[in-house]
Amino acid sequence: MGHLLLIDVAGSFAVLAIWYFVFSAYNHKKGAAALRWVHSACADKGRILESRWMGSSRMQARLHFHSHWFENASVTLKFRPRALPVQWLVSCWQHQQETLTFEADLGGSPSFDLEVVRHRWTAQNRGITGHGRGQREWEVYEPGPIILTTRTHWKQDPAAELNALMSARRQDILQVRFRPESPQFSATVKLDALSDPNAAVGFVGALREIAAGASTHQ
């Protein structure tokens, strides 16, 4: 009985080890592909200096831009924790997305702390209609911008805030943030959204547009 138990334990460890290395390699492959997307998008504007893995599901790369667009720029790629079965199941259950987060310092420190979350749609159910059993009529609304601030004196023309909101919406960016401390600017996008070369170039252009709007606002 003891020998059978040891065999079962050894077999379980072997399966987990194989699982870990196979899915770690899968994430590394996805990371290499994502870096190629970043390199292609920044081909004429900047380059990747170095990259490193932080665990089996997170990768970070430092960037350098030829112009003075951004300083101390980096991207952090977050993948599903496939190498760890329990964490992977939890991430699937919570519908966690694989993302790329760009962080950098701007030419001047922003005078405000702002976080913009992607614009959402809402819908209201008006109940079952008479057109058919089980069919429902929906009214869909597009809510206007909602800005939460800690400022005691709010200005009437929040140009930088609204520009960031609209640019984030056009590029399908999940989150944009400005703050006085480093990193002064960050933006998060779904990783799959960058698989298309035009979308990746558009993302870099959107970053520049948002940052330029903030610099002008300063």
Confidence (pLDDT) at 71: 87
Q: Kindly write down the DSSP assignment for every residue of 117-154, as one continuous string.
A: EPP--EEEEEEE-TTSTT-EEEEEE----------SS-
> What is the C-alpha separation between 94 and 170, in angstroms, rounded?
26
Please give the DSSP secondary-structure letter assigned to residue 171.
T
- Per the CB < 8 A criterion, the answer to whether 57 and 81 are in contact is yes
User: pLDDT-derived band of residue 164, with 50, 70 and 90 as boundaries?
Assistant: low
Residue 194: enclosing H or E segment and its boundaries?
none
Mean pLDDT of 178-187: 86
User: pLDDT-derived band of residue 65, with 50, 70 and 90 as boundaries?
Assistant: confident
- Greater pLDDT, 214 or 208: 208
The answer to which of 87-101, 165-179, 181-195 has the lowest mean pLDDT is: 165-179
Alpha-carbon distance values, 183 to 15, 105, 109 (Å): 41, 5, 10
In 3D space, the residue among 20, 6, 1, 60 whose CA is nearest the CA of residue 48 turns out to be 60
Confidence (pLDDT) at 39: 85
On the question of pLDDT at 162 being above 70, the answer is no
Confidence (pLDDT) at 96: 87
On the question of pLDDT at 154 being above 90, the answer is no
Please give the DSSP secondary-structure letter assigned to residue 195.
S
Sign of CA dihedral 164, 167, 171, 172: positive
Confidence (pLDDT) at 205: 78
On the question of pLDDT at 85 being above 70, the answer is yes
As a residue count, the chain comes to: 218
Flag whether the pTM goes above 0.85. no
- Per the CB < 8 A criterion, the answer to whether 139 and 126 are in contact is yes
How high is the mean pLDDT of the chain?
Answer: 76
